[in-house]
Chain A
Amino acid sequence: MIQVANLTKTYNQGAAAFPALNGVSFEITNENMVAFVGKSGSGKSTLLHIMGGLESITSGEVVVDDSPLKGLNQAQLADFRNKKIGFVFQSFFLEPSYSVYTNVEMPLIVGKADNETRKQRVLESLKLVGLETKAQNKASELSGGERQRVSIARAIINRPPYLFADEPCGNLDSENSAWVMRILKTLSLNNTKVLLVTHNMDDARIADRIITLKDGLVIADALT
């Protein structure tokens, strides 16, 4: 469960202060896939980063599975990210010099998983995104769509309860986008809550709920 209450975020404190979020509140309990939509600059990414423990809170509350993020220090936030959240971004952030396999394995390496678990989970994840045959290729040898699928495989390798995807299809053509959306939907039906930021209303409609932001405020919140 994710609870967001009166969340504000102001960049650049002082004279040049810019309020990116102006008091956002919502609660995600039963929906498996939630889409955040809104114009560019409305604060979608900021919201996602805060919920993912990547960005600090100016005021308000964010509680993920009963633990409030506000009091956590950098090391605790790192732990939180490693255990609770899988991230997928518009850019893929794969390490080009590593193989697909190692890229996907990375969160398990960081999380000290044992050898057996690593092997089994990497293959499982790659199978889920349909890339088991490319495991030994270098990340630099893949197409954009494949790279995004690898980054999804990496994001779910720790079996995080939440997957945060910030415009995962932003750099992809429609065919690859469809692939990625299908994978996200599958995941959301299999015990991973997916929070998706998107510009594309067709993609948003795949979700169970659509939250619309404007100027750092929630202006619409509806189940599909």
Chain B
Amino acid sequence: MKAFEYAAPRRESELAGLFSGRPGATAVLAGGTDLVGLMKKMIVAPDRVVNIKEIASLYGISADSAGVTVGAVTRLDEMLDSADLDAFPAVKQAIRGINSMQLQSQGTIGGELCQRPRCWYFRNGCGLPTELGRMVERGDNRYHAIFGNRGPAKYVSASRIAPALVALGASVRIVGPASGEAVEGPPKNGAPVAQDGNALGEAIMPLADFFVTPRAPHQGETVLDPDQIVTHIHIPRDEQIASATYEVRQSEGPEYPLAAAAAALRIEAGVVTEARIVLGQVAPVPWVSEAAAAAIVGQAVTPESARAAGEAAVARATPLSQNRYKVQLARVSVERAILQAAGLETGGF
């Protein structure tokens, strides 16, 4: 690990000036379960580490009629324990699936969403994404992307909770140096908006737009600029939405699933009237499948309709040289997430 400066702000406002806009110069420390390992391997070697866990406003879970807001440094086990999140089984199932008390009681939701790719070429020191893309393409890509993998980024988005949150229509609040004027609606690339002459600004955007597929060096896996952080996640409340996360996990360990899917369904009079199906571990971003949603909308959830939605989800998959099997697993994930959301047996383990 390289020697670094350490900052531990207590208030959001103290973040101003702590971050450098230069990529890699500063790192956000939340639970540290991912960052510290990367720093030890010197894959990340910041000059300054900013611990955001002491910022009280970033911590905790609050609920109102519109939905539930989770602070970015809230720990995963606290989310599991929160009755406010019972309305979102997909989220709790994803957290439970992490299967590691240590990660659940140290990892934070912000860190979970922002964790770096697990790709072994990346973790063995190949930069993102160009060189990496070539290595993955010709190399061992058994755990890599089967969607959205035409560009240099062929790793899979690591977050396990993101598919559920995206399916549930969650949004993120981002804070960083103020720039530009206030605009209507969510800003395009997450540029925080100045507030009352503060040095910091905020932006709120759908989580679905938060993740991006980098095309060039120094583009991250999210819209975040090096001087921005996630402060809150908001999940809108909708009593009629049934949700589930299904992950294909080989073991009970904290290994990442081989494929996963989250389903959020509005079921009225036995028929699905609205659906969001989001696949995990199959693309550089949580992969929203419009095709799967279209296949299940207008249908009653049955083993057959769920299977058809699974097939629709993978119809346009583009597996790499070694990961064709993931297409099958992605199909099954979608099928089982839908069945599980509707409270039906999945037929497998």
Decide if A and B are genuine partners: no
Interface residues of B, Cβ cutoff 8 Å to A: none
Which A residues contact B (CB, under 8 angstroms)? none
